[in-house]
């Protein structure tokens, strides 16, 4: 068969994030294309993006990673942080705050709890879980390995449910201590 098959994904991203996906002189877009083995077409007026696999053997993994990287950038991550998704063990997860609240006031309050004063709570969550966290609109996005994102998701869920920051941080410290002990035991065996 001469006709080359391809795998395609279509995304729609916010207008204000298009320039970040493209990057200075197209650098970010080119890097996504190169590292994921895809072609990317961006309609800058609508925010519609078409990702298509360029490999002859349909590199579905690359196309999926490119989709996740673009989603991550569109949800507030810097391209540098979004490229962590290329690691095979790294996950990208999205949490929609509208699923937890009934009003926009509640959503704003919850976002405030997760971000904290001058971003302190989000920074602490990132340091204690090693996951990257972005709060953009009504979406909380996470990048990290399975353990990191699960821990961050558990902590965020506790904050959404009204637990104090002190309680959440203590849970994270305990999880970190437990993880260190488990790693030490692995080395000993």
Model confidence pLDDT, tens digit, residues 10-34: 999 999 999 999 999 999 999 999 9
- Reported as a pLDDT band with limits 50, 70 and 90, residue 2 is very low
Instruction: Provide the 10 A C-beta neighbour count for residue 93.
Output: 15
39, exposed or middle or buried, with CB in 10 Å at 0-12, 13-18, 19+?
middle
Q: Which domains are delineated in the chain? A: 8-86 (3.30.1370.10), 91-188 (3.30.1370.10)
Model confidence pLDDT, tens digit, residues 110-167: 999 999 999 999 999 999 999 999 999 999 999 999 999 999 999 999 999 999 999 9
């Amino acid at each position: 068969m001469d006709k080359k098959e391809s795998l395609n994904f279509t995304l729609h991203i916010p207008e204000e994030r298009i320039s970040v996906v493209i990057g200075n002189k197209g650098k970010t877009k080119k890097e996504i294309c190169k590292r994921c083995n895809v072609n990317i077409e961006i309609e800058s007026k609508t925010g519609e993006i078409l990702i298509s696999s360029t490999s002859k053997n349909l590199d579905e993994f690359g196309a999926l990673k490119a989709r996740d990287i673009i989603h991550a950038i569109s949800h507030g991550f810097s391209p540098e942080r979004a490229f962590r998704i290329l690691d095979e063990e790294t996950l990208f997860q999205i949490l929609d705050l509208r699923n937890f609240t009934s009003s926009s006031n509640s959503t704003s309050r919850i976002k405030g709890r997760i971000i904290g004063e001058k971003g302190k709570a989000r920074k602490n969550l990132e340091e204690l879980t090693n996951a990257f966290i972005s709060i953009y609109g009504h979406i909380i996005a996470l990048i990290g390995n399975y353990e990191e994102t699960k821990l961050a998701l558990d902590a965020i869920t506790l904050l959404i449910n009204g637990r104090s920051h002190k309680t959440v941080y203590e849970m994270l410290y305990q999880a970190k201590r437990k993880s260190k002990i488990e790693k030490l035991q692995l080395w000993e065996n």
